């Protein structure tokens, strides 16, 4: 995922996961960013209201429903990187 984002935009994102200790902390450690974090139960909708101002991308670490204007998406078996459509956050 880190290779898909320019260094200049790594701080403009939101990482969503079901618990702080686990994949969420591991992802942030290896990602090396100061992205915003949202801990939300798996299966939750992630809406525009959940996106901090200026969010350009969202990483979903689990089964979540993106309910915000989305652009391109990139998938791995357990992770999704979604670009936020212009005007979405």
pLDDT score, position 72: 80
Give a yes or no: residue 75 inside a domain.
yes
pTM of the prediction? 0.85
Q: Which residues of 24-56 are buried (b: 16+ CB within 10 A; e: fewer)?
A: beebbeebebebbebebeeebebeeebbeeebb
pLDDT score, position 29: 67
Of 63, 87, 83, 61, residue with least CA distance to 74: 83
The number of distinct structural domains making up the chain is: 1
pLDDT score, position 33: 63
Give a yes or no: residue 23 inside a domain.
yes
pLDDT score, position 88: 61
What does the alpha-carbon distance between residue 4 and residue 42 come to, in Å, rounded to a whole number?
24
Give a yes or no: residue 17 inside a domain.
yes
For the chain, which ranges sit under pLDDT 50? none
Give a yes or no: residue 89 inside a domain.
no
Of 9, 21, 24, 18, residue with least CA distance to 56: 9
């Amino acid at each position: 995922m880190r290779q898909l984002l320019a260094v200049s935009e790594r701080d403009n994102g939101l990482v969503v996961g079901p618990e702080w200790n686990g994949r969420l902390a591991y992802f942030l450690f290896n990602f090396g960013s100061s992205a915003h974090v949202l801990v939300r139960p798996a299966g939750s909708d992630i809406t525009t209201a959940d996106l901090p101002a200026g969010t350009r991308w969202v990483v979903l670490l689990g089964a979540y429903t993106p309910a915000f204007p989305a652009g391109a998406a990139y998938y791995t078996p357990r992770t999704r990187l979604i670009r936020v459509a212009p005007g979405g956050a």
